Chain A
Amino acid sequence: MMGAMSTRERVLWYLGALAIVLYALFPVAWIISLSFKSQGDLTDRNFLPRNPSWGNYETIFSGSARDLFLPALRNSLGICLIATFVSVVLAMFAAYAIARLDFPGKRLILSTALVVAIFPAISIVTPLFNLWRGIGLYDTWPGLIIPYLSLTLPISIWTLAAFFREIPWEMEQAAQVDGATSWQAFRKVIVPLAAPGVFTTAIISFFIAWNDFIYGISLTSTEASRPVPAALAFFTGASQFEEPTGAITAAAVVVTIPVVVLVLLFQRRIVAGLTNGAVKG
């Protein structure tokens, strides 16, 4: 069947694939192209830059947008990594309990995770805005990390529970018969089996935190904690009459790089994680 594929069919597949790749990369290519345009060319309404330059990157790393972008990048990285770490660790405990232990309330926890996952962020933002101002969490890292958990924790629990359910836990027993202590069985058998799932969950969770905008603009006011997506919305040009297009696009490209690298390295696992969590979780 597969072997009997004609050249024509093969070419069609390649064309189809090419179309999908174009679809996926076209807007990315456009923003990269913009980021390399020099200040004068930004408004030429041409797809490709006429005189490619690193000027916009200089603006965000050492020029006028430096004080906006670099703190934002630091905030984004720090806040997202911490939120990811916390939610994956908590989700690991919860998912282990859900996958391995028999206790009433399993379904309650999974349903709660589902409800939290569909919770509109705006409904959390309004009360938190008021509360955070009252207790001094407004415009701080913890002030963002806590609401980020509402984004990352549910998906982490679902994804990890799906992964943990597929771990052949009887391996633990096999290892014990083979002469392992409980700790050895855990470290040599369960950890290597669970690690890919935990790692994938961490990536997906990081993507979600990294993507946040609504908390970022609502619960911060300065570079003390404002993350990149929010900062992009506050970029201004070198002068009042200049559009900040160059700086925004360069910054957008910079924050897209880690995401693309993760996708390229772990595409198979990410797909497994997304579909496991949502369809089978």
Chain B
Amino acid sequence: MSTTTMPPTKAPKTEPKSAPKGALSDRARSERRLGWMLAGPAFAIMLLVTAYPIVQAFYESLFDYRLTDPDNRSFTWFSNYAVILTDSIWWQALGVTVGITVVTVAVELVLGFALAMVMHKAITSVRPVVRTAILIPYAIITVVSAFAWWYGFNLTSGFVNTWLGLGDYDWFGDTLPALAIICLSEIWKTTPFISLLLLAGLAQVPEVLQEAAKVDGATWLQRLWKVTIPNMKAAIMVALLFRALDAFRIFDNIFIMTRGNNNTESVSFLAYRQTISRLEIGLGSALSVLVFLCVVLIAVVFIKGFKVDLASARGEK
């Protein structure tokens, strides 16, 4: 693809990287300039595609504004937020979203850890096969995964009821079973990612610690709890953080399987429905801002509350 098109502006500098700190000041200055020249465009685009929209969304959330009725656009301060926060639909959607997040992340953590252990310990002949296999759910389109699970469980084409002898039980006819299938699809697709992160964490736990613990008389379980897990805590927390934020944004599976029927709506789906289907720009924008705030809250809780140290997880220390 783009491998051979590295532009010549990146041609190597003649001064060595290992030059002690504080090289000639004009050189340092030109290095700064070059740094920002190279990184600037990417930085600007990232800001442009996120900061600008969220500011715009906040602005629009202060209006009572329907796209189908543009003449009656009026500035109403925070009334959209008041409408949302006093409506049970929002709280229902939030509950569903949090529920999905907690369930999927918890299951994925356990399952992903088991997968990672298998890959870590697996005999060499099996390892590439396992690795390739688990990459497939990761790489598959979420919508395709959603369809696969939906067709598996639905009434017209599903084989699951046949296999389980459940006859005409409608999995999508009620909130909990429908959510269970949604979670199942989500778990199937994203466990591999979490397991790869955990595998990388496992690989960072020195083997000699295991040996030392063995000599000290620890059982397999004690080694896992007292040696392995504490030493890969950073990797676990990072995996949890990324997956929790990802799960909170769940949308594709719900759209394909239930379209939010039977109280299976997530907050993202609710926002989508207000904006795109009902063209309620004001309300939709307010929902977008709220979803954003929730995500920020989760990130802050993780980083401050659980002290997720991204720097140490990145091996910078």
**Which of B126, B136, B144 touches A24 (beta carbons < 8 Å)?**
B136
Minimum CB–CB distance from B126 to chain A (whole Å) comes to: 4
Choice from B38, B46, B118, B291 contacting A16 with Cβ under 8 Å:
B118
Residues of B within 8 A of A (CB): 1-8, 10-14, 16-18, 28, 31-32, 34-36, 38-39, 41-43, 45-47, 49-50, 52-54, 56-57, 60, 67, 115, 118, 122-123, 126, 128-145, 147-149, 151-152, 156-159, 161-163, 188, 192-193, 196-197, 199-201, 204, 235, 238-239, 242, 245, 248-249, 251-252, 255-256, 267-268, 271-272, 275-276, 281, 284-285, 287-289, 291-292, 295, 299, 310, 313-315
B259 CB to nearest A CB, Å: 9
Contact between B1 and A101, CB atoms less than 8 A apart: no
- Tell me whether A279 and B200 are in contact (CB under 8 A): yes
CA distance A80 to B231 in the complex (A): 39
A62 adjacent to chain B (CB < 8 Å): no
Number of A residues contacting the other chain (C-beta, 8 Å)? 120
Some 9 contacts from A to B, beta carbons below 8 A apart, are: A43-B156, A127-B285, A146-B49, A162-B314, A176-B14, A214-B252, A218-B276, A255-B141, A256-B144
Known contacts being A47-B159, A91-B42, is A21 close to B50, with CB within 8 Å?
no
* Chain A residues within an 8 Å CB radius of B32: 101-104
Contacts of B118 in A (CB 8 A): 16-17, 20
* A195 lies within 8 A of B3 (CB): yes
Chain A residues with CB under 8 Å of B204's CB are 279
Cβ of A245 under 8 Å from chain B: yes
**B152 with A271: CB separation less than 8 A:** no
- Among residues of A, the one whose C-beta sits closest to the C-beta of B124 is A2
* Cross-chain contact of A129 among B42, B145, B276 (Cβ < 8 A): B276
Contacts of B200 in A (CB 8 A): 275, 278-280
A260 CB-CB contact with B under 8 Å = yes
Q: Distance in Å from the Cβ of B60 to the closest Cβ of chain A? A: 7
Q: Is A88 an interface residue (CB 8 A)?
A: yes
> A263–B46 contact, CB under 8 A?
no
A43 to B208, CA, bound (A): 57
How far is A164 from B84 in the complex, measured between Cα atoms in Å?
46
User: B1, B133, B193: which contacts A202 (Cβ < 8 A)?
Assistant: B1
Residues of A with C-beta under 8 A to B67: 130
A49 to B167, CA, bound (A): 20
A97 contacts B39, C-beta separation under 8 Å: yes
> For the complex, what is the distance from the CA of A127 to the CA of B61, rounded to whole Å?
10
Complex Cα distance A81/B2, Å?
A: 10
